[in-house]
């Protein structure tokens, strides 16, 4: 007698609750922070350690993650010439787009005139509030900039957390490991395993993102208050609008030419967008941005090269801010600038804008350094925008982060390692 086997139905897959999504949790954290900061400013300012602790957790992981990603990517390459080719294409793209951002900032400043009507006497401003930033803003030559990329020791690069130094060490180590052939294979496998552990660390740390976003945003609203935006609302509105239009128009056109939808990409990185807005630092998005770009089909070596170097050379948001803010200070203090002087600001900003990313306030320091080279503009005028710099840095960091994500996908398309259909399917 035969028995008919009874089909055992497997338990239904657990559907993910909407409130368990990271972007929902971060959004809730930001909304609660704004309300808390408006109702209880003093207590909201005390939340600053929550945001600072989260940023430090992220920066603690970044250097090790970049090292593992770049080394394993290069060591696994069959064509090592691709590294130089990818780097060359990336630097060309970075320079063209960031220079365009500087030009857009100049145009908006001359058309909108955000500083007109202030009629501020520079002698009455508190120059001491800018003095600390002026001390950090040392004018550097091209040689100084290139020498700064080379760390004193290999371990010094990781100790300081300088991303560009870590990239240099990683590239050299990756080439050397690749040259050893089969002898270095066990080390490559070990680094690949370490890379998986590091990404798991990122997943763990990101669970605290809503708390970090709450602390950072609560501090911003509590300390500076929405009322502080009033007198300088025209500058803030001009910069925010320019940033949004730059992303939509310029990045949108670049994405269209590369064969993907910018808006689908923005939806894909919505968690990173919210996190950068809350913390005013683009570095907080580096680990998960790199992970998502790999998930879209970009090779590990390409992501490891472009994203970290882009945070130094592809600072589009900082470039927009520097020329626009420089013209604001000149207009607010009734300082007339000739076109030759404006071109001087542009030329200096081409260099000083490099490296003005990641750390909140770095662009402000870079702008102080730029104005120090142009004697006609009183550096003390920077005191006018010191109080709202946190609100400006939100969009500076956001444009920087989005720009590096778009750049990675564009270079991946140029290298034909990511097909148009594959990218569109992964984004969908």
DSSP-assigned states of every residue in 68-105: HHHHHHHHT-S-THHHHHHHHHHHHHHHHHHHHHHHHH
Q: 121 to each of 48, 193, 364, 384, how far by Cα in Å?
A: 34, 61, 21, 11
The distance between the two most distant Cα atoms of the chain, rounded to a whole number of Å, is 104
How far apart are alpha carbons 414 and 82 in whole angstroms? 12
- Per-residue model confidence (pLDDT) at position 251: 96
How far apart are alpha carbons 418 and 299 in whole angstroms? 9
Smallest Cα–Cα separation from 90: which of 244, 307, 382, 279? 307
Give me Rg for the CA atoms of the chain. Answer: 23
How far apart are alpha carbons 299 and 120 in whole angstroms? 53
Smallest Cα–Cα separation from 275: which of 337, 207, 326? 207
How far apart are alpha carbons 15 and 18 in whole angstroms? 9
Q: Write out residues in the chain with pLDDT < 70, as ranges.
A: 1-16, 18-19, 78-79, 122-142, 144-145, 227-231, 354-362
How far apart are alpha carbons 288 and 271 in whole angstroms? 9
Smallest Cα–Cα separation from 390: which of 285, 238, 278, 256? 278
- DSSP class of 319: H
The residues, any chain, with a CB within 8 Å of residue 410's CB and separated by 6 or more, are 93, 254, 255, 258
- DSSP class of 249: I
Q: 100 to each of 73, 112, 201, 390, how far by Cα in Å?
A: 31, 18, 37, 24
Which one of 1.10.3720.10, 3.90.10.10, 1.10.3860.10, 1.10.1740.10 gives the CATH number of domain 20-427?
Answer: 1.10.3860.10
Assign residue 180 a region: left if phi > 0, alpha if psi is -120 to 50, beta otherwise?
Answer: alpha
Query: The tokens of 56 are what?
Result: 């430090």
Query: The tokens of 226 are what?
Result: 């929405």
- DSSP class of 377: S
């Amino acid at each position: 007698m035969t028995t008919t086997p009874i089909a055992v139905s497997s338990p239904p897959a657990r559907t993910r609750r909407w409130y368990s999504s990271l972007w929902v949790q971060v959004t809730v954290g930001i909304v609660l922070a704004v309300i808390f900061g408006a109702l209880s400013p003093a207590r909201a300012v005390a939340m600053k350690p929550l945001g600072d602790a989260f940023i430090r957790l992220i920066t603690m992981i970044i250097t090790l993650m970049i090292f593992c990603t770049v080394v394993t990517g290069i060591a696994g390459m069959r064509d090592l010439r691709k590294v130089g080719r990818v780097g060359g294409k990336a630097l060309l793209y970075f320079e063209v787009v960031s220079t365009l951002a500087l030009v857009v900032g100049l145009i908006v400043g001359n058309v909108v005139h955000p500083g007109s009507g202030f009629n501020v006497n520079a002698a009455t401003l508190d120059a001491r509030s800018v003095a600390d930033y002026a001390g950090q803003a040392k004018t550097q030559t091209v040689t100084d900039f290139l020498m700064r990329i080379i760390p004193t020791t290999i371990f010094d690069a990781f100790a300081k957390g300088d991303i560009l130094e870590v990239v240099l060490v990683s590239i050299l180590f990756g080439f050397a490991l690749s040259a050893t052939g089969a002898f270095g294979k066990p080390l490559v496998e070990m680094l690949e395993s370490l890379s998986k552990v590091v990404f798991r660390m990122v997943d763990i740390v990101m669970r605290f993102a809503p708390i970090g976003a709450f602390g950072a945003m609560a501090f911003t609203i509590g300390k500076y208050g929405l009322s502080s935006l009033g007198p300088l609302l025209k500058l803030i509105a001009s910069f925010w609008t320019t940033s949004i239009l730059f992303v939509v128009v310029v990045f949108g056109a670049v994405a269209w030419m590369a064969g993907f939808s910018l808006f689908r990409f923005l939806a894909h990185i919505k968690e990173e967008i919210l996190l950068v807005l809350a913390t005013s630092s683009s570095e907080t998005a580096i680990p998960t941005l790199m992970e998502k770009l790999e998930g879209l089909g970009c090779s590990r070596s390409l992501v490891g090269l472009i994203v970290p170097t882009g945070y130094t050379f592809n600072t589009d948001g900082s470039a927009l801010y520097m020329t626009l803010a420089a013209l604001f200070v000149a207009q607010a203090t009734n300082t007339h600038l000739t076109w030759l002087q404006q071109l001087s600001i542009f030329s200096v900003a081409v260099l000083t804008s490099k490296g003005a990313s990641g750390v909140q306030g770095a662009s402000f320091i870079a702008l102080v350094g730029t104005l120090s080279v142009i004697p006609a503009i009183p550096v003390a005028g920077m005191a006018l925008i010191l109080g709202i710099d946190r609100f400006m840095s939100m969009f500076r960091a956001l444009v920087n982060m989005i720009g590096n994500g778009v750049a990675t996908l564009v270079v991946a398309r140029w290298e034909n390692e990511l097909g148009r259909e594959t990218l569109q399917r992964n984004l969908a």
